[in-house]
Amino acid sequence: MRNLKKEIEKIKEELVTLRREFHRCPEVGFEEKETAEKIANYLKELGLEVKTGIGKTGVVGVLTGYGPGKTIGIRADIDALPLEEQTGLDFASRNKGRMHACGHDSHIAIGLGAAKILSRYKDQIKGKIKFIFQPGEETLAGARAMLDDGVLAGPAVDAIIGLHNWSDLESGLIGIKKGPIMAAADKFTITIKGKGGHGAVPHQTVDPVVIAANIIDDLQKIVSREIDPLETAVITVGTLNAGTAYNIIPDKAELSGTVRTFNPEVRQFIIKRMEEVTAGYCQGARGEYEFNYNDGIPATVNDPDLTEEVINILKASFGEDKVIESVRPSMGGEDFSLFQQKIPGVYFFLGTRNEVKGITSSIHNPEYLIDEDILPTGVRAFCEVVLNYLL
């Protein structure tokens, strides 16, 4: 009878060492050459079949069991953020302007730890396990790049699981739910063309800044007055660029931002209404516009049947009090959703908040820390799900 908890606790020191090694040498999307090399070498030492260069800098390791069966994928993202670290850690980033401020270093360690433990069960597994170490998640481009390179083929993957360390959950808790757990993430750019002139004679101009201000105001009313209050949506304008001097009315203004939604119908409605609002203001103020909307990634939607199976496995393994089904979905985007467009997938959160240790900062913060005690928990969660799925 296996005792995963005991086995994994024995490699906790190794997990911490791995995490700190990757934390020390962060690399941003599609530049993860050193990171990928370390991952590939570790997997090769475990005896896995390893492929590199999948999705540019991604790594895939395949563990084959003793007989035919299903194939399950474990996905871990590996890229860092373009951020200057301010943690003061002994193992802080040595790469200036680069930091694992989203905890992907812990995801790598957990993925490698799962590979190490599961490789011990090779003679008991029917089927295969595909370990997918994905680049470029922060740019929401890595999953697509790996899919374009056939990451879900050879062998074909039947289901996939992934996790993210989560500062909103207490350390060691697992947050999981059926349906949407992270939002669709899109980008838009609106360019407003007017007629420039002296700031003292605005009547001789078509002021694109005023038009932009009105558009920004009305974009918020789409959410507050045109979307069902029981639905969820965000329209954020993140940039507004116009002008070169305080007393000159420019001839152009450009704004850009992001839209976050869960419901595809709400998403399409917002796109339509954003352009209508833009066109209406520009027509009324005698301006012109260009509206560019980039469908980024769809919402991360957990497969209901597979999620039910995973929830039952995790509750049996960790106890019902450790598995939080009421976890709030996040308006953040995650390109794990692109895998879920192809095959059933489950994405869950691994709590890392520990106020006693002073670990309270949110992700994407230059002072972000994780509670390293969660590393064995993450490994065990992956292993329990995989072994129950394949044995």
* Cα 274 to Cα 188: distance, rounded to the nearest angstrom: 10
User: Would you identify the CATH topology of the domain 4-183+299-390?
Assistant: Aminopeptidase (3.40.630)
- Residue whose C-alpha is closest to residue 231's, from 287, 277, 269: 269
Q: Does domain 184-297 have CATH number 3.30.465.10?
A: no
* Cα 254 to Cα 209: distance, rounded to the nearest angstrom: 9
Are the C-beta atoms of 356 and 371 separated by less than 8 Å? no
Name the strand (E) or helix (H) holding 181. Answer: strand 179-182
Sign of the Cα pseudo-torsion (123, 124, 129, 131, in order): negative
In sequence order, the 6+-apart residues with CB closer than 8 A to the CB of 317 are 4, 380, 381, 384
* Phi, psi for residue 74 in degrees, rounded to 5: -115, 120
Q: What is the pLDDT of residue 391?
A: 83
Percent of the chain with pLDDT over 90: 99
Are the C-beta atoms of 209 and 196 separated by less than 8 Å? no
**pTM exceeds 0.85:** yes
Query: Distance between the two ends of the chain, CA-based, in angstroms?
Result: 13
Name the strand (E) or helix (H) holding 306. Answer: helix 304-318
Are the C-beta atoms of 127 and 68 separated by less than 8 Å? yes
Sort 285 into a burial class: Cβ within 10 Å, 0-12 / 13-18 / 19+.
Answer: middle
Span 72-128, pLDDT tens digits: 999 999 999 999 999 999 999 999 999 999 999 999 999 999 999 999 999 999 999
Sort 319 into a burial class: Cβ within 10 Å, 0-12 / 13-18 / 19+.
Answer: exposed
Q: What is the strand order of the sheet 233-242 is part of? A: 233-242, 252-261, 184-193, 288-297
Rg (CA), the chain: 24
Q: Report DSSP state, residue 277.
A: H
Span 307-343, pLDDT tens digits: 999 999 999 999 999 999 999 999 999 999 999 999 9
For 211-237, what is the mean pLDDT? Answer: 97
* Cα 354 to Cα 371: distance, rounded to the nearest angstrom: 7
Residues of the chain with CATH 3.40.630.10: 4-183+299-390
Q: Can you say how many angstroms the Cα of residue 26 is from the centroid of all Cα atoms in its chain?
A: 17
Residues of the chain with CATH 3.30.70.360: 184-297
